[in-house]
Amino acid sequence: MPHTLLSLNYDVLSSILALISTQDAAQLALASRAAYAVAYPRFISNVSLGGLYHKAGDSAVSQLKSFSNFVLAPAPCWHGAPSARLDGLRSLEIMRDAVRVRKGGMRVVDASAVALLSAVLQKAHDLQQLTLWGSDALFTAFPDFALGSSPSIHTLVLGGDIAPLPVLARAFPHVRNLEFVAGGGSCVPEWAFDAPDANSEALGPWRKNLERVDAGFPIIPLAVPVRRVDLRNPIVADEDSIWCAHTFLAQTRPVVLSAAVSVPSSAEHLGALLHATVPGIKYLELTGDRCEGLREGFDWMMRDVSQSLQHASNLCIHGITLTVTRATVSPFAPKYQEDAPVARVATPEKSVDLAVLARTVAESAPSLRFIAIDLSPAKGASSAERAWFRVHEPRVGSSRRVEKISEEEGQAIANKMRAFNRYD
């Protein structure tokens, strides 16, 4: 009997299919019914609808309606259960134009398309990640959008104009990871700086289910405990920025925090942020943003970070990762003509003693067991300016001891600490 691709063991075949593109998987599915059943989960697993602004007419809406009608229709008996067309859907992205039609020279939301999408979200029992661009317009056009959505949707990614949090919590009560598109993809909504809702049940099940928030800005109305918080945009050293970040962290009380602060930043500002997280925080990833050079980054960690850890009362942190980003000059910045060209030779800065820095940080927080330091992104630094350390308890009459460990071991410890309180 001749051997064919479909005669391979399913475990082997699934590994092969994972390496081919969705377009190739779709072509394979057209070969035969047997090939269709095998290849279908590959090209239906990750779907993005819309993004067709370059095409005339209502191509994106037609795409969404065709897709929705197809997956909602019962699958043929040779394919499997009636819901087999939806069973393979794992990730779904809805772009702005996927629900918009042109009327009177303007693009408006098609409520029928939103209702059809809502039906898909209710029946997609294997859907794990949903990305919505312009979610505010979806709920405005169809207030019952996504009510009764699949409990399998655990990751909600938001871009564009974002609907209010109580509306999102009502529609997606089982969400564990709430993400806002990086960069300028998500607009800071006006409600992001409002006081939390007086109704303690406004966010409903999110109080128990929400595990991680990844955002570029503080979200003050999010007054629920969150295990891990990632604040991507640097927290600048002004009273308003510090107050917003402090309020947000005090309400979410993260166990794991990843944040960036502008350099230089005072120990008082850093201390205010740390104070908002005690006593729950166990692992901190702190980035000094736009550091001028190796020496400035070293001094910031040695002075400001160490002092802020020292003065944070009731701090019970087990691990910390410190790094920096390099200061950059915009290509659009004005260039001034010099009277005479001056030859500039880039000279690397003198290396710094990372063990001394780690020991100083360890002395500032007695509960620390792990320290990672990365100064390699700084101007004038080399790839050697990064290290990982274990912190050992002091012997009688001696100070705390730090032991340098390998990168592999350090990364493993950091990954373990990022999972603090996930299963315990």
Please, what are the domains in the chain? Answer: 11-44 (no CATH), 45-175 (no CATH), 222-325+349-423 (3.80.10)
Write down the pLDDT at residue 332: 47
Across residues 382-403, what is the average pLDDT? 85
Query: How many Å separate Cα 268 from the centre of its chain?
Result: 28
Number of Cβ within 10 Å of residue 329's Cβ equals 7
Chain mean pLDDT for the chain: 85
Of the pLDDT bands very low, low, confident and very high (cuts 50, 70, 90), residue 57 is low
Strands 370-374 and 386-392: antiparallel
Q: How far is CA 104 from CA 62, 99, 108, 231, in A?
A: 19, 16, 9, 41
pLDDT band of residue 190 (cuts 50, 70, 90) is confident
Which tokens go with 287?
A: 């980035």
Determine the Cα–Cα distance for residues 337 and 39; give it in Å rounded to an integer: 62
Instruction: Answer positive or negative: Cα dihedral of 361, 367, 370, 372.
Output: negative
Interval 136-153: pLDDT, tens: 999 999 999 999 999 999
If one compares 38 and 391, the residue with the highest pLDDT of the two is: 391
Residue 215, helix vs strand vs coil: strand
Q: Write the CB contacts of 20 (distance below 8 Å, at least 6 apart in sequence).
A: 28, 42
Give percent above pLDDT 90 in the chain: 50
Greater model confidence, 35 or 246? 246
Alpha helices (H) in 225-353, listed in sequence order: 239-252, 267-277, 294-299, 306-311
Q: Contact at 8 Å (CB) between 79 and 126?
A: no
**Residue range 114-126, pLDDT digits in tens:** 999 999 999 999 9
DSSP 113-169: HHHHHHHHHHH-TT--EEEEESHHHHHHH-TTTTTT--TT--EEEEEBSPPPHHHHH
φ/ψ of 29, rounded to 5, equals: -65, -25
The helix (H) or strand (E) run that includes residue 260 is: strand 256-262
The residue that leads in pLDDT, 207 or 21, is 207
| CA 294 – CA 302 distance, rounded (Å) | 12
How many whole angstroms separate alpha carbon 313 and alpha carbon 281?
12
Of 32-36, 272-276, 326-330, highest mean pLDDT:
272-276
Q: Which of 6-10, 174-178, 265-269 has the lowest mean pLDDT?
A: 6-10
- With 60 as the cut, is the pLDDT of residue 363 above it? yes
Q: How confident is the model at residue 56 (pLDDT cuts 50, 70, 90)?
A: low
Per-position b or e across 278-303, b if 16+ CB within 10 A of its CB: eebbbbbbbbbbebebbbbbbbbbee
* Helical packing angle, 22-29 and 33-44, nearest 10°: 160
Query: Once rounded to an integer, what is the mean pLDDT over residues 184-209?
Result: 77
Angular region, 219: left φ>0, alpha ψ -120 to 50, beta rest: beta
pLDDT class of 348 with cuts at 50, 70, 90: low
pLDDT at 83 over 90: no
Q: 27-36, 267-276, 297-306, 310-319: which has the minimum mean pLDDT?
A: 27-36
Of the two residues 230 and 31, the one the predictor is more confident about is: 230
Task: Look up residue 112 and give its DSSP letter.
Answer: H
How confident is the model at residue 382, as a pLDDT?
Answer: 86
